[in-house]
Amino acid sequence: MKRTLLLGLAFAAQAHLSLAQTATPPATPQYRPAYHFTPAAHWMNDPNGLVYYQGTYHLFFQHYPEAMVWGPMHWGHATSADLVHWREQPIALFPDSLGYIFSGSAVVDSKNTSGFGKNGQTPLVAIFTHHDPKGDKAGTSTFQNQSLAYSLDAGKTWTKYAGNPVLKNPGIRDFRDPKVSWNEATKKWVMTLATKDRITFFSSPNLRTWTKESEFGEKLGAHGGVWECPDLFPLTFNGKTHWVLLVSVGSGGLHGGSGIQYFVGQFDGHTFTPSSTQTRWVDQGKDNYAGVTWANTGARRIFQGWMTNLEYSGQVPTSPWRSALTIPRELALRQVGQDVWLAAQPVAEVNKLLQPGSTTLQNLPVTKELDLSSRLPGLAGAGNRFQLKLSTKQLAGFSLVLANSRGEELVIGYDQPTNAYYVDRQKAGKADFNDKFAGRYTAPRRATIPAADLTLLFDASSVEVFADNGLTVMTELFFPTEPFSTIKLRSDAGLVVSDLAYAKLVADAK
């Protein structure tokens, strides 16, 4: 987990931690997502070890199973057959004499390079950071090291490698979050590791012995906080392979606090070379952090992030759990002018959640205000759990206003003078738990064509906005005191909505 979280946030203060361990606030089922993964109870942060194997998606996550605030880290575990229905499993990895189990990744070692497989068994291997809290408290610089665990029963149970750690700290306080993948060009495993203010690449033929290859990023990108939770992967665009490097920061994000930046470039198995030094963000909203991609999913590159911001992650008003993950998103590269951008869309499996009775409206002229409430059946009883899609042939300034009987409003829209999408949650409900929560957050529109499309996924206390085929993406939390029951479109400029589709979304897995 994050040193910034441990040192910089009020909720980690000992007095608060002690209180939270003994007292659980009243339950808030109205804020429990229906189709985003949350633990049944207690604290969750970074997604870890995302790996697909033999028909099952294995999602591991940073977890403290004794309180609703950060504590000694474990690897929680959940499984799914389709990325949208999740079943929580027993904890996979517990803290031990080497320390807490911090973030990392998992791979399918199909060639048994590690030697962990027996009698033809294929090992799943988890690579994670061992964090020694005693060394941290003592002020040493070698308290984070990289270790292994393996599973020979398709991810059900895990055995820690007796030779841990496999990559010892050379003297860097922030030395963590290994993301490992097989590099076919060099026939080696590549580890992308966060090392304070940069990324360091290591290689290994067997996952046990590691050699340093190169460093990247000391003077590039956002450095408001130490670099964290990296990921490196290829994407093919127009017949050419590009490499994408994700890097999270605990502070200095686009809207303050945490966020995920990315670089597009080339990787030759040893060195990453960016094609642009511009700082870009995976998500232009306030609440997406520490995200990484799934392993072993073939041609699909599926991303999932921690849906919160470090500024208030330990204070959001949910109980008896705290935190959810974003919906899994399929990543792709898209070109606008001479620039290549990372785009994201909800995975197609979200369509499995669509409920009967969906509504499609066409050719809706919006002059000043159009109340859609009576034309979208079931909106009042949906509990903020629905999908809304709209498209227009000529984008103009507009706002989509969700409101309830208490005068609370969540506003999502497009501001034409600044050419930016926005989410305004200033009046969307509870916000007094942290003075940095309420706000109006904007995201530049990347598309340059007149037509536009938006997909909005609402799930109890969150909205994910995917605009222009995923070129602009925003993730925002909100906590109304009662669900929104009305929905209106407003446009002073005049907007014609070509198509508007509404459907309730429900999942049954918890």
Whether residues 148 and 174 fall in one domain: yes
Give the model confidence (pLDDT) of 11-28 as tens digits.
343 333 433 444 789 999
Whether residues 203 and 70 fall in one domain: yes
Could you tell me if 58 and 344 are in contact, meaning their C-beta atoms sit under 8 angstroms apart? no
220: Cβ contacts below 8 Å, ≥ 6 apart:
263, 274, 277
CA–CA dist 190, 172 (Å, integer): 20
Whether residues 381 and 290 fall in one domain: no
Q: Does residue 427 lie within any of the structural domains? A: yes
Q: Does residue 476 lie within any of the structural domains? A: yes
Whether residues 262 and 366 fall in one domain: no
Residue closest to 305 by CA, chosen among 458, 473, 191: 473
Could you tell me if 105 and 229 are in contact, meaning their C-beta atoms sit under 8 angstroms apart? no
Q: How far is CA 189 from the centre of its chain?
A: 24
CA–CA dist 325, 221 (Å, integer): 25
Q: How many domains does the chain have?
A: 2
Q: Provide the annotated active-site residues.
A: 46
297: Cβ contacts below 8 Å, ≥ 6 apart:
52
Could you tell me if 73 and 63 are in contact, meaning their C-beta atoms sit under 8 angstroms apart? yes
Domain boundary residue among 313, 346, 379?
346
Whether residues 282 and 415 fall in one domain: no
Domain boundary residue among 346, 363, 389?
346
| 65: preceding bond cis by omega (within 30 degrees) | no
Instruction: Extract long-range pairs of 113-122: CB within 8 Å, 24+ residues apart.
Output: 113/189, 113/205, 113/206, 113/207, 114/148, 114/150, 114/206, 114/207, 114/208, 115/206, 115/208, 116/150, 116/152, 116/161, 117/152, 118/152, 121/152
Phi-psi region of 54 (alpha: psi -120 to 50; beta: other; left: phi over 0): left
Q: Is 97 exposed, middle or buried (0-12, 13-18, 19+ CB in 10 A)?
A: exposed
Whether residues 372 and 431 fall in one domain: yes
Whether residues 171 and 319 fall in one domain: yes
Whether residues 156 and 299 fall in one domain: yes
Which CATH number covers residue 453? 2.60.120.560
Helix/strand/coil for 352: helix
Q: Edge-to-edge, what's the strand order for the sheet holding 100-108?
A: 100-108, 124-131, 144-151, 159-160
Whether residues 270 and 378 fall in one domain: no
Domain boundary residue among 320, 346, 372?
346
Which two tokens mark 219? 């003077």
The residue range of the domain holding 102 is: 3-23+41-346
Whether residues 58 and 96 fall in one domain: yes
Query: Could you tell me the pTM of the whole model?
Result: 0.95
Whether residues 398 and 323 fall in one domain: no
Give the model confidence (pLDDT) of 360-377 as tens digits.
999 999 999 999 999 998
Whether residues 334 and 369 fall in one domain: no
Q: In the chain, which stretches have pLDDT less than 50?
A: 1-22, 509-510
